[in-house]
Amino acid sequence: MTMREYMLGNVAIARGLLEGGVQVIAGYPGTPSSEIIDTLASREDRDYHIEWSVNEKVAMEVAVGAAWTGVRSVVTMKHVGLNVAADPFMTLAYAGTKGGLIAIVADDPSCHSSQNEQDTRRYAQFALVPCFDPSTPQEAKDMLPYAFEFSEKFEIPVIFRPTTRISHGKSDIELGEIPVEKAVPHFEKLLDRWVMLPKNARPRHTHILSIQQAMEDELAESPWNSLEIKPGAKMGVIGSGIASVYAKEALRELGFEASFLKIGTYPVPRKLILELLSTVDTVLIFEELEPVVEEQVRILAQEAGLEVSVLGKEGGFVSREGELDVSAFLEALRKAFDLDIEPDSGKVPLELAPRPPSLCAGCSHRATFYSMKKVFGKDAIYPSDIGCYTLGIQSGTVETTLCMGSSISIASGLYHAGEKRPICCSIGDSTFFHTGMNSLLNAVFNKANITVTILDNRITAMTGHQPNPGVGFTVTGEPTVEVSLAELCKAMGAGFVTVVDPYNLEETQEAFKAAKEFEGTAVVIAKQPCVISGKRAGIKRVPYIVDPEKCEGCKQCVKFGCPAIEFDEENKCAVITSLCSGCGVCAQICKFDAIREVKR
């Protein structure tokens, strides 16, 4: 009997890894990929190793070590994570693998939770490795066992590229069997492959080039690429990944007759593309982000001498930015063929009230930023980093955000460029463990006169509350070493290191004053559990209330920016709502003693 289950896309991906016989899983949390490891870690019948690594490079290397023993391994990350892991990955393409190795790299078109929209298919081209591009959660699940087999057949790592709509969409998934038998690990000492000296790297480059055609031929025959030729149709459509689903749906709704090629793997299936091009006058390429398929189609048409009009991102028929949908394809058809199509016909626009992102009520980062701004002032420079604390931009204390761990290095660069204004950067605990440690070491070594604020909320909050080396437990909940940020910073040579409770404004501001006056690299660690994970852990605080008799309507508590504090214009009085988490910072800000704990 066929088993089916309604699943989140990332849960379906996790299931696909199980059905593929995965034995080692490593990754770094990053939306939209995080739930894959969270799902696998929550299983009680685990017969595999699973970990959140300190960054994507380390996670990649863990997966590589496992694959070199002949077992199947996977590394998970979001698209920008591959930038961090590119160093080992590019050379791994030369060295190859023994066991199957899949790099799951989740792309985020439209930047829902990312600092850019980069297209991971470009990395696959760059590294000369295959890329699997699922169009539905079901296909994503089904692709993974195949991807493991493909990786082992050609002894090469492969990229698996879900996008946000695949990872976070939900679907009814048909389940397969989970294998019982798995490979027995054995590391074979192949020095000519595992040691990338120049004399070994050169022939491995030749090797990877030599297998490109064989990989392309096999992928072309896989179920992930499919061609439907409509007899007599002079119009062709090529859809890639999830965009192919939108295109197919739009064609079906319109009753538009067109031959259709769905592409789900890279290198692209050139034989199928040429077969399509030989039957049509015009082809419309529909793919998200970069014109990866489009470029290949144009090259193939030119090489084959086919006078086919190729339409896509060149000419503005399809956007090179953001997510695509059915309406985007209808608009592309309208532009391409001057058709009378109304892309939004039949749709009722949904207008939502503006809801700018904000730090949670009672978030300790808000209190830290408040004290930071009080001490360093408006004229100081505030480099920051990647995390939920990036929302400190509303506090005027986030003035740069580039990539994980960059805040300290940018602060150092500002100082060494000769900037005379005070520099106070901020970085989260997990981000510090990720790549901030090297940046701090560099700042200390090169004598940067800056203040580094580590926002230690005891968890990796933005991506879903995953553990990091500072919390004392692993992804499976097992106790482990709890790394002390303070001792770590001291060991790296920071001359000033102090730990404060950001809910205590006086203590925190005194620490920032001392750090500002210190000559050299100073570190202030603002330590307070995330309000969400704290509640889950059973931390209870008494909420606060405003005494309307004492409130003078100065709005200082409102300006603090906590979502739990509102202002009653009719009564000219601040009001604290049920969102209050009991941090008590607003009571310390109030000059009129108008805010107090709720009496039990």
Residues forming the annotated binding site for [4Fe-4S] cluster? Answer: 551, 554, 557, 562, 580, 583, 586, 590
Angle at 252 between CA 246 and CA 255, to 5 degrees: 135
How far apart CA 500 and CA 311 sit, in angstroms, is 59
CA distance 15 to 9: 10
Residue ranges of the binding site: 551, 554, 557, 562, 580, 583, 586, 590
What are the CA-CA distances from residue 484 to residues 450, 453, 468, 490, 498 (Å)?
21, 15, 12, 10, 12
Q: Which of 205, 4, 189, 29 is nearest to 104 (CA)?
A: 29
User: Phi and psi at residue 39, in whole multiples of 5°?
Assistant: -65, -50
Structure tokens at 518: 């210190």
Q: Tell me, rounded to whole angstroms, the distance of Cα 148 from its chain centroid.
A: 23
Question: For residues 313, 317, 321 and 324, what is the CA-based torsion angle, rounded to 10 degrees?
Answer: -120
Element (H, E) at 304: helix 292-304
Amino acid at 494: A
Closest by CA position to 456, among listed 531, 369, 529 = 529
User: E strand or H helix at 51, and its extent?
Assistant: strand 49-52
Report CA-CA distances (Å) from 192 to 62, 128, 202, 203, 575: 20, 20, 11, 9, 70
Query: What's the distance, CA 289 to chain centroid?
Result: 16
3-state secondary structure of 113: coil
Which amino acid belongs to residue 169?
G
If one counts every other C-beta atom within 10 angstroms of the C-beta of residue 354, the result is 4
CB of 175 closer than 8 Å to CB of 15: yes
What does DSSP say about strands 131-132 and 158-160: parallel, antiparallel, or unpaired?
Answer: parallel
Please state the φ and ψ torsions of residue 310, each to the nearest 5 degrees: -105, 115
Q: At what angle do helices 292-304 and 270-277 cross, to 10 degrees?
A: 60
* Residue 276 near residue 238 (C-beta atoms within 8 A): yes
Q: How far apart are CA 588 and CA 584, in angstroms?
A: 7
Q: Give the per-residue SS3 of 192-212.
A: HHHCCCHHHHHHHHHHHHHCH
Pairing of strands 170-174, 235-240: unpaired
Joined together, the tokens standing for residue 519 give 């000559």
467 backbone dihedrals φ, ψ, rounded to 5°: -75, 160
